[in-house]
Amino acid sequence: MIYDVAIIGSGIIGGSIFRELTKYNLNVVTLEKENDVAMGTSKANSAIVHSGYDPEPGTLMAKYNVEGNKMFDKLCKDLSVPFKRNGSLIIGFNEEDMKELDILYKRGLANKVEGIKMLNKEEVLEMEPNINPDIKAALFCPTGGIVGAYELTIALSENAIDNGGELRLNSKVVKITKDNHFKITLENGDIVESKFIVNAAGVHADSIHNLICNEAYKITPRKGEYFLLDKSQGSLVEKTIFQCPSELGKGVLVTPTVHGNLLVGPNAIDIDDKDSVSTESEGLNKIRETSLRTTNKINFRENIRNFAGLRAVADNPDFIVEEAKDVKGFVDVAGIKSPGLTSAPAIAVDVVKMMGQAGLKLNPKDNFKETREQIHFINLSQSEKAELIKKDNRYGRIICRCEYITEGEIVDSINRTLGARTIDGVKRRCRPGCGRCQGGFCGPRVQEIIARETGMNIEDVLLDKNNSYIIVGKTK
Ligand SMILES: Cc1cc2nc3c(=O)[nH]c(=O)nc-3n(C[C@H](O)[C@H](O)[C@H](O)COP(=O)(O)OP(=O)(O)OC[C@H]3O[C@@H](n4cnc5c(N)ncnc54)[C@H](O)[C@@H]3O)c2cc1C
């Protein structure tokens, strides 16, 4: 079969475009090199739905940021993904910061960010009493939000599959040729044919582009490291608190997560290795020091996890969202650094429109299913919980005691359309292992449940990426 569109990469960008395309009568396939979706940058970022004060007016980043932000309420509600508009504050300590805040305020106005305003010190401290009282003022953006970034990435692809899209995991693209249409060779030798290609390969988008097009841009991975703290710290601030941004990024933030933890980071370090997501004490120490200027009340002894993500920084300062100049039908969606997560839904709408103008036939489906259900047991009322347990007693067995995740939710995350096959896959779908013990107690139980539900041998159930075996042999 010749697909209408092949999307390369299933992060938030590929996933958003995948779902948008399945609103039309098209044959669409997504090719992802890893064994699950949301395995790249889309699983390791600040998960902030930015309001749009930061990008230069007139750029694609500004346009998609503000448009994308407005789409999150409906999108997350439709797909049962956690999202909260908690608002954000950018705080300033001195005259230099005040100048920067003024620039950001004017940019926010130019970008039409709703409700943006400057607050004086007293107003800020009333809003956020735990912030450093040495601040002078802050920029307040009520439309800022926090979201479950990997939950959304998974939900988008799952909903696209429910609407007829095809996802091929473990499908690394290694070669692309074109005669009448594209022939995409995968690492295992399979060939996938399509009329259009969307390149949404994140930090690897330049390599994918160069497989068929002349070199047009280069991507450098810019690492950002984080501390994730226990829920005991999660109510220290209610809003996302940024310090003033620099050339390298939006600055160190302190924010509650949508699940009630506290997130602190990131820094910004250009590196060579596009697969390195290690964290190092040097960077983390600097983040800790910087964040304590925002509030000295963070108890870093409550840190439960460190992680890092890679921004795809192209030598073009703006997002690259265009058909390649030299290869018709090849669409780059590249250099999607921050605010890429926020921008993704708006980018997807435009990319599909762009392909329509380039000849893709866009006949809307009349049976597109917009919604996707997922039970979050902890959010149910007592009576709803009781009713659910009566129907299925697996919802009465708590497997993850830190996050109160039931066996019912774990089984559902394995058996649903885009079901998890690894321990971290289950974790990203319904959170066992996200709590204080980080899976120390529930990990082996989740492994058993995956084996039982799928018929896999327990030794073959992986922690995360391919080859991440946990059980390697018998000790006795
Ligand atoms: C530290 C940090 C903080 C950030 N904070 C925010 C924020 O708060 N808010 C915000 O809006 N944005 C934020 N961003 C940006 C946002 O996370 C990214 O813009 C977004 O996740 C990029 O998504 P993507 O789909 O382009 O890339 P990815 O999620 O990396 O997806 C690319 C996919 O392509 C696959 N792939 C690569 N090569 C191949 C191949 N050869 N064959 C098949 N598949 C392939 C990869 O495996 C991967 O799954 C942040 C980024 C970082 C790093």
In a domain, 330, yes or no: no
Cβ atoms of residues 410 and 430 within 8 Å: yes
- In tens, the pLDDT along 328-354 reads 999 999 999 999 999 999 999 999 999
* Residue 304 shares a structural domain with residue 413: no
pLDDT of 246 above 80: no
**Which of 277, 310, 343 is where one domain is finished?**
310
pLDDT of residue 247: 63
Overall domain count for the chain: 2
Among residues 234, 225, 62, 80, which one has the least CA distance to residue 147? 80
State percent of the chain over pLDDT 90. 97
The packing angle between helices 340-357 and 12-21, to 10°, is: 40
Alpha carbons 138 and 37: distance in angstroms, whole number: 37
Q: What is the mean pLDDT of the chain?
A: 97
As a whole number, mean pLDDT of residues 298-302 equals 98
Give the torsion sign (CA, 445, 448, 450, 453): negative
In a domain, 397, yes or no: yes
How many Cβ atoms sit within 10 Å of the Cβ of residue 352?
Answer: 21
Tell me the CA–centroid distance for residue 138 and ligand 1, in Å: 30
CATH number at residue 301: 3.30.9.10
At residue 441 the predicted structure's pLDDT band, cuts being 50, 70 and 90, is: very high
Ligand 1 atom nearest 309 alpha carbon: 53
- In tens, the pLDDT along 363-386 reads 999 999 999 999 999 999 999 999
As a whole number, mean pLDDT of residues 288-308 equals 97
pLDDT of 127 above 70: yes
Token reading at 212: 């068929």
Q: Which residue has the tokens 């950002």?
A: 224
**Which of 269, 289, 310 is where one domain is finished?**
310
pLDDT of 249 above 80: no
Tell me the CA–centroid distance for residue 42 and ligand 1, in Å: 4
- In tens, the pLDDT along 19-28 reads 999 999 999 9
pLDDT of 474 above 90: no
* Residue 285 shares a structural domain with residue 404: no
* Residue 301 shares a structural domain with residue 441: no
In a domain, 434, yes or no: yes
If you take atom 3 of ligand 1, which residue's CA is the nearest one?
A: 45
Tell me the CA–centroid distance for residue 471 and ligand 1, in Å: 30
* Residue 139 shares a structural domain with residue 224: yes
Cβ atoms of residues 101 and 90 within 8 Å: yes
* Residue 304 shares a structural domain with residue 410: no
* Residue 384 shares a structural domain with residue 296: no
If you take atom 21 of ligand 1, which residue's CA is the nearest one?
A: 42
pLDDT of residue 240: 98
Alpha carbons 442 and 376: distance in angstroms, whole number: 17
Structural domain for 381, as ranges:
377-460
Alpha helices in 94-148 (DSSP H): 95-110, 121-127
Q: Is 204 an annotated catalytic residue? A: no
* Residue 291 shares a structural domain with residue 385: no
Ligand 1 atom nearest 14 alpha carbon: 25
Count Cβ atoms within 10 A of the Cβ of residue 456 and give its class: 0-12 exposed, 13-18 middle, 19 or more buried. Answer: middle
How many Cβ atoms sit within 10 Å of the Cβ of residue 434?
Answer: 22
